[in-house]
Amino acid sequence: MLPLATDSIPADATHFLADGRALTLTHAYDWHECGDPVPDEDGEWNMLCVFATIGGMRVGHSEFILRGGRLLPNNVEVVPEARRHGIATAMYVFAEKHTGLVCVPHSIQSADGAAFWAQRTRPFGK
C-alpha cells in the first residue's frame, strides 16, 4: 500500500487539452483532501484522490479505492462546463501511471460512467 501523504499537494503533471489549455493534475492520500477514506485491515490508507485544475480553478476530482492490486473508481466528477475535453480520462491515466495499478470499473455506475467505460479506445483499464 502507498503511504499517507501529510504534506501539501504537489503539482504532479500537466496535460494539454485539445484546445491548448493546460490541465494540472495533483494527488493526495490525505483524508483532509479526499473526504474520509477508511484505513484497510492493515491500517494503511486505501484511497487515492486526483484533482484537475485549469488556470487555478478546480474543474474535476476523482477518488480511487486501492484494493486487490487494482484501482476502483469510487467517485469521479468534472464540472459540467469542462466535460467532453478529456479531463476524466486524464485523471484515470494519471492514477494508473502514479500507482502502477490498473483501473477496473465499479459495479455501481451512473449512465455517464457506463458510457465512459464503454469507449473502445479508452487509454486506461487495460
pLDDT digits (tens, 9 = 90+) for 85-108: 999 999 999 999 888 899 999 889
Is 56 a member of any domain?
Answer: yes
Is 34 a member of any domain?
Answer: yes
Is 89 a member of any domain?
Answer: yes
Is 98 exposed, middle or buried (CB count within 10 Å of its CB: 0-12, 13-18, 19+)? middle
| C-alpha closest to that of 64 among 42, 79, 49 | 49
Is 126 a member of any domain?
Answer: no
**Could you give the dihedral angle defined by the CA atoms of residues 81, 84, 85 and 86, in that order, rounded to the nearest 10 degrees?**
130
pLDDT for residue 124: 94
Q: Is the pLDDT of residue 31 over 60?
A: no
Is 57 a member of any domain?
Answer: yes
Max CA-CA distance within the chain?
44
Q: Is the pLDDT of residue 36 over 60?
A: no
Is 43 a member of any domain?
Answer: yes
Is 40 a member of any domain?
Answer: yes
56-78 mean pLDDT: 89
pLDDT for residue 56: 85
Is 22 exposed, middle or buried (CB count within 10 Å of its CB: 0-12, 13-18, 19+)? exposed
Q: What is the CATH number of the domain that holds 18?
A: 3.40.630.30
CA distances from 1 to 4, 7, 46, 64, 98 (A): 9, 18, 7, 13, 13
Is 39 a member of any domain?
Answer: yes
- Our count of domains for the chain comes to 1
| C-alpha closest to that of 47 among 30, 32, 61, 23 | 30
Q: Give the range of the structural domain holding residue 84, as residue numbers without chain letter.
A: 11-117
Q: What pTM was computed for the model?
A: 0.79
Cα-Cα end-to-end distance for the chain: 21
User: Of the ranges 17-21, 47-51, 61-65, 83-87, which one carries the lowest mean pLDDT score?
Assistant: 17-21
